[in-house]
Amino acid sequence: MSKPQVGIIMGSKSDLPVMQEAIKFLEEQEIPHEVSIVSAHRTPHRMVKYAEEARKRGIKVIVAGAGGAAHLPGMVASLTSLPVIGVPIKSSNSIDGWDSVLSILQMPGGVPVATVALDGAKNAGILAAQILGATDKVIAKKLDAYKKELKEKVEESAEQVENYGYRGNKIGFGS
């Protein structure tokens, strides 16, 4: 794979099962990416180094996942002008997920973090690809194909439900 364009980081190895969805999407789309563990609270200096050096290494978007008092995405966003996508994670130290969501979502003016849904790492991967796709035609083409596939799956389901329903009755439009 060529030089990574997306940097995926998370506060702990325990976040990996959730963050795997972002990694998987980028792998499927053949978008070069790197993955690491960077903790805002346990390795603050590593976090500063990562955020400050990311652009120099060719990273164009950062996806950062964390749970509980989830300061990693916001702090990384405070240290770089690269776009940062935050993934709130319902971790073992999270009360109910809201702590992670609000820690990442409620950023002060001037320091945005594009926050996806709780455990929404797949959308973070897709959004990272879409940011790259704004200027990269090859990636844009792959994303168009992906979205077309989504549309076709819904149309297929609609057709099945309209024609057969779940009790075998015709229940759709015009029935």
Question: Which parts of this chain interact with ligand RP5 (CB under 6 A)?
Answer: 10-12, 14-15, 39, 41, 66-68, 89, 91-93
- Closer to ligand RP5 at the Cβ: 15 or 21? 15
- Closer to ligand RP5 at the Cβ: 54 or 66? 66
Run of H or E including 114: strand 114-115
Smallest separation, CB 33 to ligand RP5 (Å): 19
Contact 61, 130 (CB under 8 A): no
Run of H or E including 131: helix 121-133
- Closer to ligand RP5 at the Cβ: 31 or 85? 85
Smallest separation, CB 41 to ligand RP5 (Å): 6
Tokens encoding 124: 């973070």
Run of H or E including 111: none
Smallest separation, CB 68 to ligand RP5 (Å): 5
Smallest separation, CB 63 to ligand RP5 (Å): 13
* Sign of CA pseudo-dihedral 94, 24, 33, 107: negative
- Closer to ligand RP5 at the Cβ: 118 or 126? 118
Instruction: For Cα atoms 16, 18, 24, give the angle at the middle one, nearest 5 degrees.
Output: 85
